[in-house]
Structure 1
Amino acid sequence: MRPAAGALFGRRARLRWLHLVLGGALAMPYVLVGSVVVEAVAGDADVFHSLRLQLAAFAVGLPLAALSALFPPARPLESGAVRALCAVDAGLLAPGPARTTGERARTAAWVTLHLGAGGIVAGMSLAVPPFAALLVLLPFAPALRDGPVGPGGLFQHTWTLALAPVAGAVLLLALAGCAAACGALLARWAPVLLGPSAQDRIAAAEARAADLAVRNRLARELHDSVGHALSAVTLQAAAARRLLDTDPEFVREALAAIEDTTRRTVGELDAVLGVLRDGDASGTAPAPTLATDLDGLLRRTRASGLRVTAAVSTDPRSLPPQVSREAYRIAQEGLSNALRHAGHEAAVTLRVEVLDGHLLITVENPCDTVTGPRPGGGHGLRGVADRAGLLGGSAEAGPDGPVWRLRVRLPLKETA
């Protein structure tokens, strides 16, 4: 019983009822214009004293309302009313004005449905409650029986007179049920007629994809730059602490490398945060590349105690800028993995070469020095694969006999 009462008289039902009544109020100017047209056609007949002519004026006014709904601002106005009063999720409704012919046609269909159903429910809301109140009071107010519902009218017998209050209550319930049904109908059709078109959905999906791509790029940049810096600084500090009393020269080099690493990482972090704040990287520090920053990367990595052998058989300055940037990050991640997993005393080989129109980057270290993956790790190799995939290349990583190998192929053609 309570769910039925809530469906008829609950807050949502009352708001939808109000939405329908507002639709009836919006329909009145168009009905008045329609009454002028009907009066001109019917001659001297009084439209407002004939139900048939009133319905004709209503039928003439609805197409006029549909024409006014073709203006672009009609859709956001109707969408705002639907969100506020019909309990429809805002994500199911188009946010902006109608632009295409199809969107305007659907908005016109919605306005016709809203004003048509609203006019009917509003008219019933004006006529039914007074009549229902009359029926409820009829057995208790003899003066009311002299009207059209008294003797000679609808209720001529005592038993029918006793049922008058029941008939009044039934009329009120029928009105509430009709309003609830029309409100539910409008709420169901609102996403269809006022919702985003296929073009809107494609644009929203493209915007989400672009936003996700930016976030993934920033995540890769943070992981590669900050993660490498933290791993290098940790091992450099540990090596300096062990050799503090026996090799002061190495300690000085390690501290200088720590200073250089942290300074560069702060600059790269500022660049990434600038993208997060402003949405673009204009005005930020340039990204490191293989041509300009590989020597510094090797120097800082060796300062942590890692034995790195680098074999670069091509001139990094001849590489396309985007390939050079991604290649630097890939080499940085390969050395970072060796720092994290192989230990500071491992021997690592980095090879950079050009073969068959591709840049080949290979990082190797002995498998017997690998300490195993860190809890929660694995993002670095995924980022390497993402970088290679964005350039149309490929990445492979895993044990190959006694060697753990990361091998990446990047095409040298310019990539958009």
Structure 2
Amino acid sequence: MHNVLKTLTHSTCCVSICYALFSSLLPLPYHEVPEGRDQVLFYSPAHPHLWDPAQDMKQRRGSLLAPPTAMATMVAQKLSHLLPSLRQVHQMPRPSVQPEPVFTVDRAEVPPIFWKPYIYVGYRPLHRTWRFYFRTLFQQHNEAVNVWTHLLAALVLLLRLAIFVGTVDFRGDLHALPLFIIVLASVTYLSLSALAHLLQAKSEFWHYSFFFLDYVGVAVYQFGSALAHFYYAIEPAWHAQVQTFYLPMAAFLAWLSCAGSCYNKYIQKPGLLGRTCQEMPSALAYALDISPVVHRILVSPNPAMDDPALLYHKCQVVFFLLAATFFSAFVPERWFPGSCHVFGQGHQLFHVFLVLCTLAQLEAVALDYEARRPIYEPLHTRWPHNFSGLFLLTVGSSILTAFLLSQLVRRKLSLDRKTQ
């Protein structure tokens, strides 16, 4: 029992000493002292009004020698003054950083250039920061599905390219260059499309400019598809018929498709003229690009057994025709106006079927590259340098066309602001 009391006494003394040291370090407010009193202007927890140094020293010295029970009571009283102030500090309001609000507006609050047929809400406001529009990648609006369909497809194709790099000698095998170009062209058009749908709401100028870049990506993909079909999928009989003009004509039609789409976007004519400028060059380009595949399907006697790549070629044709139908018809939103603001738009279905077309096409081309080498090697002895030059010419001319039309847009918008 004696040892227990001794231990308790030592513990209480230690607590008292720590509290005395702690209280001496606290920032203490002061009170005014009446004249004639030789006292220091500080506050003491034991004496809430005035502090006498000599008297306080006696009290502190006495507190160190106080009995354990009295010591514990004194410590509890002194801590009771301290705890409310700590609670007040904990409850003090802290400044919070609120994120920039992300919201959508109806189409009456955006210029007509941004309007979609039969889509009335879900538009993003203009003239926000670039960070705002990048953050809308994870928000719900009427372009969200269009962004994600092509963004995810681009990531899948990058993974497919990584697999190709492990199995195909792109550096040493000249016959592998068209395969690399079609994969690169596919990733390009998917990435530019996702970027255009994500950032086009920044302003009218950027709306035009990003969709011009989107059309550049489409032109690059058109020529890449034509090159892959001409190099790997073509039959010798069809090659003999078209070899002199196929690739130059494919490059020209790819550029014409880009120029027509950009011009249609610039003039903003929804009637026959606009559709002719955009859709006629694209239809002609596709008819030429797919002709080696169609000829091969028609002349193959038993494709299911002898030519497994033909199944993928058939799928890519079907998927492309479905994509073109949804692109042109604006269905199903035409049937349900005002009900397809986020999901169910025809352009979204166009994206989905175009992605399926691209994936089926790449699988078919990869199979042809591996299995048809004895057929295509004798046909292409002088083409690598020629088609590389045509590919760069298509890319350069399409970018230049998009840039020139973007400058016309800038001038047009500047004149419109001056006349307002």
Whether TM-score is above 0.5 comes out as: no
Structure with the larger strand share: 1
TM-score, L = length of structure 1:
0.29
Structure with the larger helix share: 2
TM-score, L = length of structure 2:
0.29
| Higher normalized contact order (CA 8 Å, seq sep 6+, divided by chain length) | 2
